[in-house]
Structure 1
Amino acid sequence: MAFDFDAVMETADSAIWSGLGEEVIFNGGQPVRVIWEDVAREFDVMQGTIPKLTLMESSHVFPRIGDRVERLKNGGIFTVSSAPVRENGTLVVYL
């Protein structure tokens, strides 16, 4: 019996994104599932946290600086403040 690593990883990714992800809307479009994290500002004059969004490249959403993001969980409105960075099949942006 052959072990299909890609199929196992695809199942794991699906479970992680459905369990940890939440939906946001970019610029009034369709809901997109993202992983939302509040990360510490490490090298900034202002201390505190900043929202970090990770989304799958396969979502076909490519955020740009200045894009409006609506968090469906609590209705918050945010603005993308960084260019997206590609990391292993995902896009990472900071708000």
Structure 2
Amino acid sequence: MEILNGKVTDAEIKNQTLMSHGAVKLRRGSITKKCHLYLYRDFLVVTNSRYKITFKIKYIIPLTSLWIGDCVVTDFVGSNQARKSILLGWPMENFIATFW
């Protein structure tokens, strides 16, 4: 698990209200992983797929360290063309997140 700045604890996350969540495919280069994003007021939490019985937290990113950009992905084929994608970046990683 990567926690930026070492400032995030489980208690802090549990005390916050979940604002939104959703399944995404995170793509970095040619590697794609199914993940789930949870957006809280101050943090973005990235976990493995939600459909497993248990999930593992991969990243906890304070929103002050996160940047989001528009992303136009042109190599999708078929029904994937209608999906929404954004570029997520923080000091250690950059991903294209495609919502499905």
**Do these two structures clear the TM 0.5 threshold for a shared fold by scoring above it?**
no
Write 1 or 2 for the structure with the bigger share of strand.
Answer: 2
Q: Larger % of helix: which?
A: 1
Q: Indicate the structure whose relative CO is greater, using CA pairs within 8 Å and at least 6 residues apart.
A: 2
TM-score (norm 1): 0.32
